[in-house]
């Protein structure tokens, strides 16, 4: 059981399974993973689970609110996808149940976007594509103001979620659906958008000796052109467009994240493709540059709820060139009776060898909250943030 | 049975000899309401009219990318 006063950095935590009869007091672990281009996932582990609830829980709406404090709450809403149980006869009963442990695995609100379709979208911008799905599922959204028009997008045997992620990926954008808010963003624009930041403290930092949110337990980094987490390269694109013209475009012409001095790449790959236009080629290049980072890391820290994909984490006091801003790709929040730990996957294209870009963003618009209507999660109010 | 082939059979749903426009449905790829334009690349007028297949004809189409941004009819037979 997770007590409100169990340990110093215990977060605010409120788990609601709508229609579920197992009391929250039997919850032993809550594990939430937020990752770009993936459904949000929450796993609720129960100590003791009544047999009658195992099948009846599938499909139930779930809401989990958590945060370091009341002013910093993250809202997970979704549905129970499946229940995994363990019943070991040798272990007797737990909380009066022969099923000693049950993991209730929930997918975020984007789970509704799973059915497969075979359709196509003609002459649409990314904003129009996002709007189609937001209206269909009654979500709010934020999307970059990119006027590039896809002449055709193919959704052959793909779910709406796959289609959305794929369309955004063609422009180098990432997607998240937290709560009932679709957020489309360019990882290179994280610095300019003014999103909440997370500071990660080392022992060298004066705050590192205190037990507080963001203190680093473990930091594992990978630096180089080719690492276990992928490779970082430059690109030269060549294409034939619809006018019969051959075009060339290089990744040097593509922007950087603005987080410092971009690391030069050792290799330059030559990519050849068909495109509709030169603009098409420029957009296509971003899907390559936004997937290659010369610096990646995994940081395990004392739980910090502000850390979410697409936002920035500031690593400080390693007295290194990698101190500075990193983009969060994935945030996993694990809460149990003993601790709250956040594990972050981080990436960046730059060292702190140069100053930050001057035009840092501000004016972040928090997404609307969610409401349940006919057992489906929907946005409480419409928000179309084209930025 | 289920393939990711970029060459498929299609049904002509619209064609116009004056403008050269051709629209096709590709039932093996898309739901029945999805209609795609055929590219003008590689086609030209013959004697002042565009050779186009008649509506309802089954044709073979190909595309040069998985987005189906350019759809080409293979071996258009003049109808005039």
pLDDT of residue A47: 94
**Residue A377 to residues A62, A79, A351, A373, Cα–Cα distance (Å):** 9, 9, 41, 6
Instruction: Give yes or no for residue A361 having a pLDDT over 80.
Output: no
pLDDT of residue A232: 87
Nearest to A118 among B29, B39, B64 (CB): B29
Test B30 with A118 for CB contact under 8 angstroms. yes
Question: In angstroms, rounded to a whole number, what is the distance separating the alpha carbons of residues A235 and A60?
Answer: 47
Q: Are A140 and A107 in contact (CB under 8 A)?
A: no
Nearest to A242 among B66, B68, B70 (CB): B70
Residues A54-59: what's their mean pLDDT? 96
Test B30 with A156 for CB contact under 8 angstroms. yes
- Residue B47 C-alpha, separation from nearest chain A C-alpha, in angstroms: 24
Highest mean pLDDT among A106-110, A151-155, A289-293: A106-110
Instruction: Give yes or no for residue B27 having a pLDDT over 60.
Output: yes
Name the residue among A101, A98, A108 with its Cα closest to residue A83. A101
Instruction: Give yes or no for residue A1 having a pLDDT over 60.
Output: no
Nearest to B69 among A118, A156, A276 (CB): A276
pLDDT of residue A256: 81
Q: Which of A79-88, A296-305, A357-366, B25-34 bottoms out in mean pLDDT, i.e. has the lowest?
A: A357-366
Q: Which of A1-10, A238-247, A369-378 bottoms out in mean pLDDT, i.e. has the lowest?
A: A1-10
pLDDT of residue B76: 56
Instruction: Give yes or no for residue A108 having a pLDDT over 60.
Output: yes
CB pairs A-B closer than 8 Å:
41
Nearest to B67 among A119, A154, A244 (CB): A154
CATH number of A12-110: 2.40.10
Q: What percent of chain B has pLDDT over 70?
A: 90
pLDDT band at A363 (very low <50, low <70, confident <90, very high): low
Instruction: Give yes or no for residue A307 having a pLDDT over 90.
Output: yes
Q: Are A376 and A322 in contact (CB under 8 A)?
A: no
Residues A204-228: what's their mean pLDDT? 85
pLDDT of residue A205: 77
Test A150 with B67 for CB contact under 8 angstroms. yes
Test A242 with B39 for CB contact under 8 angstroms. yes
Alpha helices, H only, chain A: 51-56, 126-137, 160-169, 278-289
Question: In angstroms, rounded to a whole number, what is the distance separating the alpha carbons of residues A11 and A157?
Answer: 42
Test A119 with B41 for CB contact under 8 angstroms. no
Question: In angstroms, rounded to a whole number, what is the distance separating the alpha carbons of residues A154 and A136?
Answer: 18
Q: What percent of chain A has pLDDT over 90?
A: 64
At residue A189, the 3 state secondary structure works out as: helix
What tokens were used for A78? 């979704």
Test B29 with A117 for CB contact under 8 angstroms. no
- Picking from A121, A150, A152 by the largest number of B CB atoms within 10 A of its own CB, the best residue to mutate is A152
- Residue A154 C-alpha, separation from nearest chain B C-alpha, in angstroms: 5
CATH number of B7-73: 2.40.50
What tokens were used for B48? 């002042």
Spatial neighbors of A352 by CB under 8 A, at least 6 apart, are A260, A261, A321, A322, A323, A324
pLDDT of residue A6: 63
Question: In angstroms, rounded to a whole number, what is the distance separating the alpha carbons of residues A292 and A346?
Answer: 12
pLDDT of residue A340: 92
Name the residue among B16, B61, B70, B30 with its Cα closest to residue A239. B70
Instruction: Give yes or no for residue A92 having a pLDDT over 60.
Output: yes
**Residue A358 to residues A8, A192, A260, A327, A355, Cα–Cα distance (Å):** 38, 9, 11, 18, 8
Residues A30-51: what's their mean pLDDT? 96
Question: In angstroms, rounded to a whole number, what is the distance separating the alpha carbons of residues B30 and B24?
Answer: 11
pLDDT of residue A192: 81
Residues of chain A with a CB closer than 8 angstroms to some CB in chain B: 117-120, 122, 150-154, 156-157, 242, 244, 273-274, 276
- Residue B32 C-alpha, separation from nearest chain A C-alpha, in angstroms: 9
pLDDT of residue B80: 47
Farthest CA pair distance, chain B: 42
Question: In angstroms, rounded to a whole number, what is the distance separating the alpha carbons of residues A333 and A341?
Answer: 6
Spatial neighbors of A255 by CB under 8 A, at least 6 apart, are A188
More confident residue, A212 or A334: A334
Structure ipTM: 0.84
Alpha helices, H only, B1-80: none
pLDDT, mean over chain B: 90
Tell me the domain boundaries of chain A.
12-110, 114-190, 196-363
More confident residue, A364 or B70: B70
More confident residue, A31 or A2: A31
CATH number of A114-190: 3.55.50.10
Question: In angstroms, rounded to a whole number, what is the distance separating the alpha carbons of residues B1 and A157?
Answer: 14
Residues A32-47: what's their mean pLDDT? 97
Question: In angstroms, rounded to a whole number, what is the distance separating the alpha carbons of residues A170 and A280?
Answer: 10
What tokens were used for A154? 């193919």
pLDDT band at B2 (very low <50, low <70, confident <90, very high): low
pLDDT of residue A48: 93
Highest mean pLDDT among A71-75, A223-227, A280-284, A297-301: A297-301
pLDDT, mean over chain A: 90
Q: Which of A42-51, A280-289, A315-324, A354-363 bottoms out in mean pLDDT, i.e. has the lowest?
A: A354-363
- pTM here is 0.91
Instruction: Give yes or no for residue A20 having a pLDDT over 60.
Output: yes
Nearest to A118 among B31, B36, B65 (CB): B31
pLDDT of residue A287: 85
pLDDT of residue A165: 97
């Amino acid at each position: 059981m997770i007590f409100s006063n169990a340990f110093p950095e215990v977060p605010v935590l409120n788990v609601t399974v709508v229609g579920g009869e197992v009391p929250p007091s039997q919850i032993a672990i809550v594990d939430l993973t937020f990752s770009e281009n993936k459904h949000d996932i929450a796993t609720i582990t129960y100590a003791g689970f009544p047999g009658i609830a195992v099948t009846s829980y599938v499909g139930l709406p779930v809401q989990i609110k958590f945060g370091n404090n009341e002013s910093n709450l993250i809202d997970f809403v979704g549905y129970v996808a499946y229940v995994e149980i363990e019943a070991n006869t040798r272990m007797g009963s737990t909380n009066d149940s022969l099923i000693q442990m049950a993991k209730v695995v929930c997918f975020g609100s984007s789970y509704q976007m799973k059915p497969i379709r075979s359709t196509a979208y003609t002459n649409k911008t990314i904003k129009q594509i996002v709007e189609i799905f937001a209206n269909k599922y009654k979500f709010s959204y934020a999307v970059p103001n990119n006027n590039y028009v896809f002449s055709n997008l193919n959704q052959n045997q793909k779910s709406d979620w796959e289609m959305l992620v794929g369309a955004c990926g063609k422009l180098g954008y990432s997607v998240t659906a937290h709560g009932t808010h679709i957020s489309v963003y360019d990882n290179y624009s994280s610095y300019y958008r003014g999103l909440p930041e997370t500071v990660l403290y080392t022992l060298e930092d004066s705050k590192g000796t205190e037990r507080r949110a963001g203190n680093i337990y473990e930091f594992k980094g990978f630096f180089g052109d080719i690492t276990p987490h992928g490779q970082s390269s430059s690109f030269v694109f060549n294409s034939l467009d619809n006018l019969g013209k051959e075009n060339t475009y290089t990744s040097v012409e593509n922007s950087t994240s603005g987080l410092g001095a971009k690391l030069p790449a050792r290799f330059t790959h030559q990519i050849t493709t068909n495109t509709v236009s030169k603009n098409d080629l420029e957009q296509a290049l971003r899907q390559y540059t936004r997937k290659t980072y010369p610096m990646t890391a995994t940081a395990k820290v004392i739980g910090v709820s502000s850390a979410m994909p697409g936002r920035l984490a500031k690593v400080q006091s390693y007295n290194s060139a990698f101190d500075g801003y990193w983009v969060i790709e994935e945030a996993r929040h694990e809460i149990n009776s003993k601790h709250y730990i956040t594990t972050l996957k981080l990436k960046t294209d730059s060292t702190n060898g140069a100053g930050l870009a001057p035009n840092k963003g501000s004016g972040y618009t928090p997404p609307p909250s969610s409401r349940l209507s006919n057992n489906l999660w929907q946005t409480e109010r419409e928000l179309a943030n084209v930025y | 049975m289920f393939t990711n082939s970029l060459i498929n059979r299609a049904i002509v749903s619209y064609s116009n000899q004056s403008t050269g426009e051709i629209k096709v449905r590709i039932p093996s790829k898309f739901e029945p309401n999805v209609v795609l334009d055929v590219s003008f690349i590689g086609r030209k007028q013959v004697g002042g009219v565009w050779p186009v297949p008649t509506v309802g004809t089954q044709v073979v189409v190909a595309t040069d990318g998985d987005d189906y941004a350019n759809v080409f009819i293979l071996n258009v037979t003049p109808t005039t």
